[in-house]
Amino acid sequence: MKYQYKKVFTLAAAVSLIVVFAGCKKDFFDLKDRNALDSQIWNNEGAIQFLLNDTYDVVMPEFPYEYPANNVIYASDEDRFSSNDAIMRKAIGVNGALTSNDVKFIATKYQGTKGDNRYFDIARCNTALKEIPGGSLSQQSKNRLRGQFYALRALSYFELVRLYGGVPLVLEPQNPDNVKLEGRAKASECFKAIVNDLDSAMVLLNGVVLDDAKERGKFTRQAAAALKGRALLYWASPQFNPRTDPAHPYDPNRWQTAYLACKDAYDICKASGSALMQNYSDIFLKEGTPNTEAIIVRTYSSAIAKRGQNVEAKLRPGQEGGGASAFTPTLQLVESYPMKDGVPIGKGSSYTYDPVLFWLNRDPRFDATIAYNGANWKLSGNATRRQWNYLKNASEGTTGIQGFYMKRFANPDLAKGSVSYSNDFGGNGMDWIELRYAEVIINYAECANEIGNLSLAKDLVREIRIRANIQPGTMDYGLSLAASTTQMRDLIMDERKIEFAFEGKRGYDLRRTRTFHLLSGQMRIQVWETKTDALRNELEVVNPTTGAMFREGININDRTTFDKYFKTSVNTVGVTGFSIPETYYFYALPSTFMNSSPLLEQTIGWDGGTFDPL
Read off the CATH number of the domain in which 49 is found. Answer: 1.25.40.390
pLDDT at 22: 38
Domain residues for the domain of 401 are 328-408+523-573
Spatial contact of 421 and 310, defined as CB atoms under 8 Å apart: yes
227 and 98 within one domain: yes
pLDDT at 176: 60
Confidence of residue 401 (pLDDT cuts 50, 70, 90): confident
What's the alpha-carbon Rg for the chain, to the nearest Å?
A: 25
210 and 69 within one domain: yes
590 and 542 within one domain: no
Main-chain phi, psi angles of 60, to 5 degrees: -65, 135
- The amino acid that residue 312 corresponds to is E
- pLDDT tens-digit series, residues 485-505: 999 999 999 999 999 999 999
Spatial contact of 329 and 78, defined as CB atoms under 8 Å apart: yes
Instruction: Please check whether residue 463 lies inside any domain of the structure.
Output: no
Instruction: Please check whether residue 81 lies inside any domain of the structure.
Output: yes
Question: Hey, which of 106-120, 191-205, 595-609 has the most confident mean pLDDT?
Answer: 191-205
pLDDT at 366: 98
Expressed in angstroms, the distance from the first to the final Cα of the chain is 17
Q: Is the pLDDT of residue 112 over 90?
A: no
- pLDDT tens-digit series, residues 306-333: 999 999 999 999 999 999 999 999 999 9
> Structural domain tally of the chain?
2
Rounded Cα distance between 170 and 190, Å, is 10
Rounded Cα distance between 164 and 588, Å, is 7
Spatial contact of 512 and 237, defined as CB atoms under 8 Å apart: yes
Confidence of residue 597 (pLDDT cuts 50, 70, 90): confident
pLDDT at 399: 57
Confidence of residue 402 (pLDDT cuts 50, 70, 90): confident
Three-state secondary structure call for residue 487:
helix
Rounded mean pLDDT of the chain?
Answer: 92
Q: Is the pLDDT of residue 205 over 60?
A: yes
- Taking every pair of C-alpha atoms in the chain, what is the biggest distance, in angstroms? 82
211 and 359 within one domain: no
| C-alpha count within 13 angstroms, C-beta hemisphere, residue 348 | 9
Q: Is the pLDDT of residue 397 over 70?
A: no
229 and 368 within one domain: no
Q: Which of 586, 512, 589 shows the shortest CA–CA distance to 119?
A: 589
568 and 590 within one domain: no
Least confident window among 160-164, 398-402, 546-550: 398-402
549 and 590 within one domain: no
Q: Which residues contact 53 (CB under 8 A, 6 or more apart)?
A: none
590 and 544 within one domain: no
pLDDT at 109: 79
pLDDT at 179: 54
- CB atoms under 10 Å from CB of 591, counted, come to 15
Q: Is the pLDDT of residue 342 over 60?
A: yes
Confidence of residue 116 (pLDDT cuts 50, 70, 90): confident
What is this structure's pTM?
0.93
Percent of the chain with pLDDT over 90: 88
Rounded Cα distance between 170 and 386, Å, is 54
pLDDT at 108: 87
Strands 294-298 and 405-406: unpaired
- The amino acid that residue 131 corresponds to is E
Q: Is the pLDDT of residue 97 over 70?
A: yes
Instruction: Please check whether residue 437 lies inside any domain of the structure.
Output: no
DSSP string, 31-55: -SSSS---GGGGG-HHHHHHHHHHH
DSSP category for residue 431 = P
Rounded Cα distance between 531 and 356, Å, is 15
Q: CA 511, 513, 519, 525: dihedral to nearest 10 degrees? A: -80
Instruction: Please check whether residue 88 lies inside any domain of the structure.
Output: yes
- The amino acid that residue 596 corresponds to is S
Write the burial class of residue 535 (CB in 10 Å: 0-12 exposed, 13-18 middle, 19+ buried): middle
118 and 171 within one domain: yes
Sign of CA dihedral 67, 73, 79, 85: positive
Spatial contact of 513 and 569, defined as CB atoms under 8 Å apart: no
pLDDT at 390: 95
pLDDT at 482: 98
Percent of the chain with pLDDT over 70: 92
DSSP category for residue 613 = -
DSSP string, 256-321: HHHHHHHHHHHHHHHHTT----S-GGGTTT--STT-SSEEEEE---SSSTT----HHHHHS-GGGT
Q: What is the mean pLDDT of residues 384-391?
A: 95
Confidence of residue 396 (pLDDT cuts 50, 70, 90): confident
Confidence of residue 573 (pLDDT cuts 50, 70, 90): very high
3-state helix, strand, coil in the chain (%, to 5): 40, 10, 50
Question: Which strand (E) or helix (H) includes residue 529?
Answer: strand 523-530
Main-chain phi, psi angles of 67, to 5 degrees: -120, 95
Instruction: Please check whether residue 256 lies inside any domain of the structure.
Output: no
Cα 455 off chain centre by: 29
pLDDT at 313: 97
Q: What is the mean pLDDT of residues 363-387?
A: 97
pLDDT at 614: 96
Instruction: Please check whether residue 120 lies inside any domain of the structure.
Output: yes
Spatial contact of 496 and 513, defined as CB atoms under 8 Å apart: no
Instruction: Please check whether residue 267 lies inside any domain of the structure.
Output: no
pLDDT at 19: 40
Spatial contact of 588 and 100, defined as CB atoms under 8 Å apart: yes
Q: What is the mean pLDDT of residues 229-235?
A: 98
pLDDT at 459: 98
348 and 234 within one domain: no
pLDDT at 133: 97
156 and 94 within one domain: yes
Q: What is the mean pLDDT of residues 258-269?
A: 98
56 and 6 within one domain: yes
Q: Is the pLDDT of residue 130 over 60?
A: yes
Q: Which residues contact 314 (CB under 8 A, 6 or more apart)?
A: 65, 322, 323, 324, 325, 326, 327
Confidence of residue 484 (pLDDT cuts 50, 70, 90): very high
Instruction: Please check whether residue 322 lies inside any domain of the structure.
Output: no
- The amino acid that residue 557 corresponds to is N
